[in-house]
């Protein structure tokens, strides 16, 4: 008896083909600036320097995503939080993923270093502020915390295929952000920690479902197109058992509910990432990461900026 006679054919997954919406990007930038100026109305130089640094950082990610043919690539700014570039790809590789992650902070650190050396040499006051923002934003992004760029590199190279370690890593990142936020009385960091905590809860549910899939001999490390009808319906059953939104839709006569189930099943899939970074490559990435984190500290120790702080 064939699989098709035992299990109905899985629904075709309709993928959103959202193109780069530059009007939306510009709107979020304007909103970002307006919100920041409401808090720092007398420091417009800081606000516009921050936006410039974030744009350079995100354009690095954007360029490499386009270079590697990511789909639905979009750049958005979130007031009081930051900015991000998102995109999707059918098949991922370690090399491409690491280059995408590092293409934001590494160029930013190099630009910030050049600007700081130039400002220290010729005593350019406004350039020091820009340098500090470049170095701070990009060095922080290299920290090995989820979802920062440094955390993404760590996951891609060492944790991507291990759900349990990824879950612990995300949980640790959430707790660290919360502790630092409470210690510094920084509500922004606390907010990041809480948002990541919510994400950890979703990861925990996925981990539980994937554990059950392994017991039922379902291979979830495939693309949706490669998923068999039998495996799709087993995954759908587990999704309905473990996700409240899926349980609610089972009782509705909604034409779109099968598409919802298809998307929920697709979210569980983790196609195997191509491991194309050698031991030497991983070592070079770690060296670049250490240098990137150390560079701002070394520059501040080596350069004479007393003239700048004296003016302040």
- pLDDT tens-digit profile of 161-217? 566 677 777 788 788 878 887 887 777 678 777 877 787 788 788 888 888 888 998
Nearest to 130 by CA among 55, 77, 42, 63: 55
In a domain, 128, yes or no: yes
Instruction: Give 29-51 pLDDT, tens digit per residue.
Output: 999 999 889 887 788 888 999 99
In a domain, 192, yes or no: no
Distance between CA 196 and CA 171 in Å, rounded?
Answer: 8
Residue 241's Cβ-side half-sphere holds a number of Cα atoms within 13 Å equal to 12
Cβ-based burial of 175 (10 A; exposed 0-12, middle 13-18, buried ≥19): middle
In a domain, 298, yes or no: yes
Residue 76, beta-bridge partner list: 84
Nearest to 25 by CA among 63, 75, 71, 73: 75
In a domain, 284, yes or no: yes
In a domain, 12, yes or no: no
Number of helices (H) and strands (E), helices first, in the chain? 14, 2
What does the pLDDT read at residue 16? Answer: 66
pTM of the model: 0.83
* Per-position pLDDT tens, the chain of length 312: 444 457 788 888 877 666 667 888 999 999 999 988 988 778 888 899 999 999 999 999 999 999 999 988 999 998 877 899 998 887 889 999 999 999 999 999 999 999 999 999 999 888 999 999 999 999 989 988 777 898 889 888 876 656 667 777 778 878 887 888 788 777 767 877 787 778 778 878 888 888 888 899 888 888 888 888 999 999 889 888 887 777 776 666 566 778 888 888 888 888 778 888 899 999 999 999 999 999 999 998 998 888 888 876
Q: How many domains does the chain have?
A: 1
Nearest to 257 by CA among 17, 7, 8, 11: 11
In a domain, 41, yes or no: yes
Nearest to 139 by CA among 104, 99, 109: 109
Cβ-based burial of 10 (10 A; exposed 0-12, middle 13-18, buried ≥19): buried
In a domain, 222, yes or no: no
In a domain, 37, yes or no: yes
What does the pLDDT read at residue 255? Answer: 61
Domain span at 81:
19-160+277-312
Look up tokens 């068999």; give the residue: 228
């Amino acid at each position: 008896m064939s699989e098709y006679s035992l299990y109905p054919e899985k629904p075709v997954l309709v993928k959103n083909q959202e193109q780069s919406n530059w009007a939306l990007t510009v709107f979020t930038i304007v909103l970002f600036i307006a919100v920041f100026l409401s808090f720092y109305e007398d420091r417009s130089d800081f606000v516009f320097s921050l936006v410039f640094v974030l744009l350079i950082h995100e354009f690095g990610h954007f360029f490499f995503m386009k270079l590697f043919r990511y789909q639905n690539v979009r750049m958005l700014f979130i007031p009081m939080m930051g900015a991000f570039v998102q995109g999707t790809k059918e098949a991922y590789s370690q090399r491409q993923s690491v280059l995408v992650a590092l293409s934001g902070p590494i160029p930013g650190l190099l630009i910030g270093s050049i600007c700081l050396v130039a400002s220290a040499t010729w005593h350019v006051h406004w350039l020091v502020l820009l340098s500090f923002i470049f170095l701070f934003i990009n060095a922080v992004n290299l920290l090995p915390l989820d979802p920062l760029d440094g955390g993404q590199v760590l996951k891609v190279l060492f944790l991507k295929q291990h759900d349990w370690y990824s879950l612990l890593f995300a949980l640790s990142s959430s707790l660290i952000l919360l502790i630092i936020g409470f210690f510094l009385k920084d509500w922004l960091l606390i907010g990041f920690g809480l948002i990541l905590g919510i994400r950890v809860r979703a990861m925990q549910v996925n981990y539980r479902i994937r554990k059950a899939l392994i017991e039922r001999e379902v291979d979830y490390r495939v693309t949706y197109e490669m998923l068999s009808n039998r495996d799709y319906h087993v995954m759908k059953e587990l999704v309905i058992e473990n996700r409240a939104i899926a349980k609610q839709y089972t009782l509705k006569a909604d034409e779109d509910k099968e598409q919802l189930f298809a998307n929920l099943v697709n979210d569980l899939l983790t196609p195997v990432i191509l491991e194309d970074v050698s031991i030497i490559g991983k070592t070079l990435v770690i060296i670049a990461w250490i240098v990137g984190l150390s560079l701002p500290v070394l520059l501040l120790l080596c350069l004479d900026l007393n003239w700048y702080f004296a003016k302040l």
